[in-house]
Structure 1
Amino acid sequence: MGKKLKIASWNINSVRARSALVERLIVEQRPDILCLQETKVLDSIFPAELFTRHGYVHHQLNGQRMHHGVAILSRLPLQDAGKHDWQDNGEARHVGARLECGIRLENVYVPAGGDIPDRAQNPKFGQKLDFIGRMTRWSEDLKEPTIIVGDFNVAPLECDVWSHKALINVVSHTPVEVEALNRLQQAHDWVDIGRKFVPAPERCFTWWSYRSPDWTKNDRGRRLDHMWASPELSGHLVGHEVLEPCRAWERPSDHVPLICEIEV
């Protein structure tokens, strides 16, 4: 132990449309590894040169035309890459790899789930719950130290949303989704890195809707993006940051980056 590993995670909402923002992030923050969600680009036309130019020469991609898509860009070697089809329909929503230090890194983009929180009326909601269920069964069998990051599309705690009362029946904060995410967390005793460093009930949001004319004024945020670690890694976690100012960058994503640091 002793070397610090810096991992960033960001739902970028199109890596090509926001390549300048990604470049600004890596120049300013210099993470060792960057995990992106919602890249919205086929692997064959992913802007790999941008990352290689800045020293991120190791790439693991799982892309899709115009939708979804995840990527791991790293200064450090990536081994034993893999992709789980937790959506069970071929959508590009996960990619993972093992780091030389022995930690497994998983990058996931959980489905949003549509607008109606009812499986019968809204198949997308059922697909979201099933996705989390498959992640849960995977977690139950997990044997190696792992960090999983990404857009989970669930704000589990009452203090993870601007108004628990207003959003209790809104997809991303409904009791059935929260219960599903709690089962996932319990399946591996995952450590919620964000809440380890920003304990509840402190305010901690990672997403603000584009529909809000001034996101800073009403601050109607939700904590949809997460970083979790295997319990054996908990004592090695040394930092976590939500880069909220990125939401004010020009033509921003509606999500902001998360960064965690761990001694390896």
Structure 2
Amino acid sequence: MALPGILYFILFKYWPMGGVVIAFQDFHPFTGFTGSKWVGLKHFHRLFSDPDFFMLLRNTLMLSVYQLVFAFPAPIILSLMLNELRREWFKRSIQTLVYIPHFMSWVVVVSMFFVVFESPTSLFQSILETLGLPTFSIMMDPDLFRPMYILQVIWRDTGWGTVIYLAALAAISPELYEAAKMDGAGRFRQIWHITLPGIRSTIVILLLLKLSDILETSFEHVFNLVNSLNRDVGEVFDTYVYRVGLINGQLSYATAVGLFKGIIGLLLVMLANRIAKKFGEEGLY
């Protein structure tokens, strides 16, 4: 049963790692790995001296920090709310409704938001006209790019994240809640002293995994949201790699950017794992 998963990681995760060698070459597809000229750290020097580097780093970090602050706690809060429901049929119905959006592609999600908020005949624009307020473009406004991005992440992925937390909540012994009730603890005290400590290890592990992807944003999501008006706040490393690597054909430079992201992610997860162990958690390794 493990063989398909093992083959997947070998073929699509570990085997392609050999391709990072082109980050140190002036790679040409026709000459291949062995025939391309070695240039050392030339592409990394170019990356760090690029005027767009700090803009890309700022935009990527801002989106990642927003996700950690707003999107990461959302499934935890929703799971706690669902866990308090006593009617099982109602609980399952709500859970099904909130994780259905996860199965939609980002193209569909962005298109739905465009239809609701952006098009001249959209519901949002019609409400503004009815109230006598001036209409304005949400998805073209640079100031609203990040809030729109985070709102879409929360709407699409929060429900799916509850699957893990609800499974962790199911492992908490009901006897702990019964003992707390006998001691006079209310619902909020039970959540604070029993529920949250019971899922703390799950939260820490998912947080560690999230930190490892701090420079990783959903390419499909950002690519469909970015336009010429909000590019200064929306361009991230993923879209930059696509633009310089696939469109402009600078494969070695794009690989260097990707390798830089991977190294930073590895260092962050190692640091976060070490901090978690110091606080008594198991960590990832």
Indicate whether the TM-score tops 0.5.
no
The TM tier, using the shorter chain, reads under 0.3
Greater strand share, structure number: 1
Give the TM-score normalised by the residue count of structure 1. 0.26
Quick check: which has more Rg, 1 or 2? 2
Higher relative contact order (CA 8 A, sep 6+): 2
Greater helix share, structure number: 2
